[in-house]
Amino acid sequence: MSFEKLGIIKPLLSAIRDLGYETPTTVQTRAIPLVLAKSDIFATAQTGTGKTAAFGLPLLQRLRNPIEGKGVRVVILSPTRELSIQIYEDLESYAKNMKVKIMILVGGKDLEKQKQKLKEGVEIVIATPGRLMEHTESGLSLKDVEAFVLDEADRMLDMGFTKDIRKIHPLLPKRHQTLLFSATYSEKVRKLSKLVLTKPAFIETAKKNTTVDTN
Ligand code: AMP
């Protein structure tokens, strides 16, 4: 398999070539066509499997033509500031030949400065659930969101973000794509997946000690 065969466009191909990615990983091979086709996904994938590019590349590809006057089009939720920064840096390096604007919203940074930057136009937001809630409560609209990503969903739930995610979900437009990534398949994750996913495709790339029940 190759990234070309998966349908990845040239500006992204040349960026990942510069990073030394030659062959797509399992989760990338399975997820990329599904994300491009706008399907919902439930993926059990741990850090190290290449999951960031599995959702990042096809979502960037879908945003390749900026639409004038649109608000935030992709929201990526992650449990921690550190993981958010990691995702941001990866996406910035994939998008280096594109014009997509990406912003990170985590605590500990000036809320007013973040608000100002959002007003100037941002297509992808990477956030921890608490900080995203602060922004939506003070006026950030999620009405143009086309794709919603929950990265390390199990960790987010274990860290107590269930309430925030349940509050954020109704702010998204009725029709949107949701991609849920989790290292494990716990009862809490299963419950959340019932709430946020519509007819998802299941992708399993977990290690031996985790199980997936797709019934
Ligand atoms: P992740 O699971 O997204 O945290 O990715 C783990 C590491 O693998 C990161 O350092 C990525 O830059 C790298 N990586 C992701 N996809 C590929 C690929 N197809 N080939 C080589 N390295 C990759």
Tell me the pTM: 0.94
Please give the number of the atom of ligand 1 that sits closest to the Cα of 86.
4
Task: Give the residue from 147, 123, 183 showing the smallest Cα distance to 35.
Answer: 147
Q: Which of 22, 23, 25 to mutate to test the pocket of ligand 1 (most atoms within 8 A of CB)?
A: 25
Residue 205: is its pLDDT beyond 90?
no
Own/partner long-range contacts of 194-198 (Cβ < 8 Å, ≥24 apart): 195/166, 195/169, 196/148, 196/150, 196/165, 196/169, 197/40, 197/41, 197/42, 198/40
Q: Residue 176 corresponds to which tokens in the numbers above? A: 């949107």
Q: Report CA torsion sign: 11, 14, 17, 19.
A: negative
The owner of tokens 């958010």 is 84
CA of 52 to the centre of ligand 1 (A): 7
Are 108 and 56 within 8 A, CB to CB? no
Residue identifier of the C-alpha nearest atom 15 of ligand 1 = 50
- Provide the 8-state DSSP code for 169: G
Mean pLDDT, rounded, for 150-157: 97
Give the pLDDT confidence score for residue 33 in this predicted structure. Answer: 98
49 alpha-carbon distance from chain centroid? 15
Ligand 1 site: residues with CB under 6 angstroms?
21, 23-25, 28, 47-53
Residue 117: is its pLDDT beyond 70?
yes
**Three-state SS for 201?**
strand
Residue 215: is its pLDDT beyond 70?
no
Give the pLDDT confidence score for residue 214 in this predicted structure. Answer: 45
Please give the number of the atom of ligand 1 that sits closest to the Cα of 20.
21
CA of 80 to the centre of ligand 1 (A): 19
CA of 56 to the centre of ligand 1 (A): 11
Q: Which of 5, 27, 52, 78 to mutate to test the pocket of ligand 1 (most atoms within 8 A of CB)?
A: 52
162 alpha-carbon distance from chain centroid? 17
Residue identifier of the C-alpha nearest atom 19 of ligand 1 = 24
Residue identifier of the C-alpha nearest atom 6 of ligand 1 = 48
Residue 166: is its pLDDT beyond 50?
yes
Residue identifier of the C-alpha nearest atom 14 of ligand 1 = 50
Q: Go through 110-126 and write b for each residue having 16 or more CB atoms within 10 A of its CB, e for each that does not.
A: eeeebeeebeeebbbbb
Q: Where are the beta strands (DSSP E) in 15-163?
A: 41-44, 74-77, 102-105, 124-127, 147-150
pLDDT in tens, 91-115: 999 999 999 999 999 987 788 999 9
In angstroms and rounded to an integer, the radius of gyration of the C-alpha atoms of the chain is 16
Residue identifier of the C-alpha nearest atom 8 of ligand 1 = 50
Q: What angle do CA 134, 138, 142 make, to 5 degrees?
A: 80
Lowest-confidence segment of 54-63, 156-165, 181-190, 205-214 by average pLDDT: 205-214
Give the pLDDT confidence score for residue 207 in this predicted structure. Answer: 56
Residue 208: is its pLDDT beyond 50?
no
Please give the number of the atom of ligand 1 that sits closest to the Cα of 21.
20
pLDDT classification of 206: cutoffs 50, 70, 90: low
